[in-house]
Amino acid sequence: MQSFDLQNFKTINTIIERDSKDTTYKYALLRGAVEISQEYQHLKHENGDRVEFPLGLLVEKWLLYYYPFIESDIAQKPRECDKGAKQISFRHTFREITDYYSSHGKFSEFYKDYTKGSIPPSLVPVFRRVVKEIRTTITQYPMKHLGYSATKRYYSVFDYDRDAVVPSGKFSVDRDALIRHFGTYSLSRQYDLIFSLPGSFIAGEDVVLFPWAQIYKSRT
């Protein structure tokens, strides 16, 4: 059994404290990665000193995390919801989905449609756009920059499969499709061990969720 390296745990907490807090992307990436390491070990692929998980699982996590913020128009970066302010990259597209479900069962109905692969046909193109936008956001922003403050290297905690080709046209809109078509992301074996065992301390209230709520609890 792989031994636990306390220094790596300290490094993760240092990254959380030091890295930019301009948006909630960092918190969403860490929370998602922790939950995936805890819930989807059966989908893990070992590749040398790193492990890989389906990137579509992170996209799904972000769909679930950000839905209530988009629906309620809650800022995810300072003053984001002010008129004319720059918004998180997928808000506009995602809002089309939350607006539809505001009169069609809200989040519970959206989640049921998604898990059953029964998103209404009129929303399918929108759903395809938003999951692609979320994937791009994850890989080009928090995944790239997380840990730079400590290591001075991009993609120092997470990386992703750049050879994966996301379908440009039609693909089914459900969890299986995201797992099949959205490639993989990777992290070191040590970080996966940290996330899968005491990872709840990283994703918990004091380290990730509480700062997320405190920094973005208002629109100003």
The low-confidence residues of the chain, meaning pLDDT below 50, are 205-206, 210, 218-220
Give the pLDDT score at 10: 72
Report pLDDT for 90. 95
139 exposure class (CB count in 10 Å sphere: 0-12, 13-18, 19+):
buried
User: For 37, what's the count of Cα atoms within 13 Å in the CB-facing half-sphere?
Assistant: 29
| Calpha distance 40→49 (Å, rounded) | 19
For residue 214, the model assigns a pLDDT of 54
- Could you tell me which of 96, 98, 76 has the C-alpha nearest to residue 88? 76
pLDDT value of position 149: 83
Q: What local confidence, expressed as pLDDT, does residue 119 receive?
A: 95
Q: So what's the pLDDT on residue 170?
A: 82
10 Å CB burial of residue 50 (0-12, 13-18, 19+) is middle
Q: C-alpha angle 101/29/116, rounded to 5°?
A: 35
Residue 186's beta-bridge partner residues?
52, 159
| Whole-number pLDDT of residue 130 | 97
